[in-house]
A and B are shown apart, each in its own frame.
Chain A
C-alpha cells in the first residue's frame, strides 16, 4: 500500500495491512485517532504529561495486540478501551500509594448528594455548545477520579452498568452510587458556574 493509498484507505483496510506488518498503515491509524485517544486519557487523568505517556503506551500495546482485533467494534473504540484500562491501572497504582484527601473521602462516602436540594432550574439551558463544553469540563475537573471515570464511561463511552463495573473492578451497586453522586454534584457545580457568570 502506498502513502497515497494509506491516507485514503478506510480504517478496516489499514488495520488489515498493519496486521500483516505494514508499519506505515499503523502510522496512518495513529495519525487519525491520536487526538481521540489522547483526549480520553486526558479526561481521565487530568494531567497532560501522564495523558501523553499513557496514550503513547496504548498505541504500543495496540500494535502488539493488533492480531486480537477482530472488528467486533470500530478500531477507535478498541483503542479507546486499551487507553481506558491503562489509565485505570495507573489511577489504581496512584491510589495505593496515597491516602485520599478529605474532599475525595467526602465524595466517596456519599450522603452529600442526598442533602443537595433538587435543582428545578436547568443550569445549562440556553448555552452555546462551546460554552457548554467548557463548563462541563470545568465541573468534571472538580470531581474525584472515581466519579469522573464513571461519568466518562457511562455518558461518553456509553457503557452499561455491568460493563462499567467490570472495567472499574467494583460492584454494580458502587457504579450506581458513584454515577448518582457524580450527576448530582455535576448539576450543583454547573449551577454554581451559572451563578458566577450572572
Chain B
C-alpha cells in the first residue's frame, strides 16, 4: 500500500478528511482487505489509548510545591519593578569601563591573529535555525545525516533533475 494512502486511511479514522475524500476511502475499504486490516489495527490502538493515560501524582507535598512557586512569583515581581526605576544611563555606565578595556584588547588580538571565522562554533557542531531537520551523526565514518520531514512529492525525487549527467 502506498504510504500516502496509509496516511489517508489514518486521516479518515481521525475525522480529518473532507467529506468527498472520506467517501472515497469508504469505497476503497469496501474492496481492499489490506486496508480494512490496517484500519482495524489503527482503530484498536486508538481505542486502547482513549482514557488510558497513566495517573501520576506530583512527588512533592502541596505545601512544599506551592512554597517554591510563591517564592518564584515574588522574585519575578520584585525584579520587574526594580528594573524600571533604574536610571537610563546606569547600565551603560556599568558596561563602559570593562567594554572599553576589552575593545582595546580585542583589537590587539585580532590584529595579531588575523581574521577569524565568522562562526564561533566547534568544528563538528551543528546548528539548525529551523525545527525541520532531524540530525544523526556517525562519528566512526564521519557522516552527518539530516532527515527532512519534507513532503514526498516529486520535487527532489523527480527523476528529471535540473542538471544532466
* Direct A–B touching, Cβ under 8 Å: yes
From the candidates B37, B69, B137, B145, name the one contacting A30 in the complex (CB within 8 A): B69
Q: How far is the CB of B38 from chain A (nearest CB, A)?
A: 5
Contact A186 B41 (CB under 8 A): no
- B26: interface (CB < 8 Å): no
Nearest residue, chain B, Cβ from A178: B149
With a cutoff of 8 Å between Cβ atoms, the chain B residues found around residue A177 in the complex are 7, 149
Q: How many residues of B contact A (CB 8 A)?
A: 51
Q: How far is the CB of B76 from chain A (nearest CB, A)?
A: 6
Nearest residue, chain B, Cβ from A168: B131
Size class of the contact patch on chain A:
35 or more
Contacting residues of chain A (12-37) with chain B, CB-CB under 8 angstroms = 23, 27, 30-31, 34-35
With a cutoff of 8 Å between Cβ atoms, the chain B residues found around residue A101 in the complex are 136
Contacting residues of chain B (17-41) with chain A, CB-CB under 8 angstroms = 34, 37-38, 40-41
- A170: interface (CB < 8 Å): yes
Contact A176 B11 (CB under 8 A): yes
With a cutoff of 8 Å between Cβ atoms, the chain B residues found around residue A55 in the complex are 58
With a cutoff of 8 Å between Cβ atoms, the chain A residues found around residue B70 in the complex are 23, 27
In the assembled complex, the Cα of A136 lies from the Cα of B42 at a distance in Å of 15
From the candidates B14, B66, B127, B132, name the one contacting A161 in the complex (CB within 8 A): B14
Knowing that A52-B58, A63-B73, A105-B147 touch, tell me 12 more A-B residue pairs with CB under 8 angstroms: A30-B62, A34-B65, A35-B55, A43-B54, A52-B60, A59-B69, A109-B134, A109-B147, A118-B38, A123-B44, A124-B44, A136-B52
Contacting residues of chain A (139-198) with chain B, CB-CB under 8 angstroms = 146, 151, 154-156, 160-161, 169-171, 173-174, 176-180, 183-184, 186-187, 190
In the assembled complex, the Cα of A27 lies from the Cα of B69 at a distance in Å of 9
- A114: interface (CB < 8 Å): yes
**A 92-129 to B, binary, CB cutoff 8 A, 1 in contact else 0:** 10001001111011001100001000111011110001
In the assembled complex, the Cα of A108 lies from the Cα of B146 at a distance in Å of 10
Contact A99 B135 (CB under 8 A): yes
From the candidates A60, A151, A186, name the one contacting B73 in the complex (CB within 8 A): A60
Contact A99 B45 (CB under 8 A): no
Q: How far is the CB of B124 from chain A (nearest CB, A)?
A: 9
- B110: interface (CB < 8 Å): no
Contacting residues of chain B (77-121) with chain A, CB-CB under 8 angstroms = none
Contact A156 B76 (CB under 8 A): no
- B151: interface (CB < 8 Å): yes
Contact B53 A154 (CB under 8 A): no
Contact B53 A173 (CB under 8 A): no
- A5: interface (CB < 8 Å): no
Contacting residues of chain B (119-165) with chain A, CB-CB under 8 angstroms = 126-128, 131-132, 134-137, 144-145, 147, 149, 151
Contact A99 B126 (CB under 8 A): yes
Contact A136 B54 (CB under 8 A): yes
With a cutoff of 8 Å between Cβ atoms, the chain A residues found around residue B48 in the complex are 122-124, 132, 136, 190
Contact A43 B37 (CB under 8 A): no
With a cutoff of 8 Å between Cβ atoms, the chain B residues found around residue A92 in the complex are 131
Q: How far is the CB of B87 from chain A (nearest CB, A)?
A: 26
Contact B14 A35 (CB under 8 A): no
- A85: interface (CB < 8 Å): no
With a cutoff of 8 Å between Cβ atoms, the chain B residues found around residue A122 in the complex are 44, 48
From the candidates A27, A48, A100, name the one contacting B134 in the complex (CB within 8 A): A100
Contact B10 A179 (CB under 8 A): yes
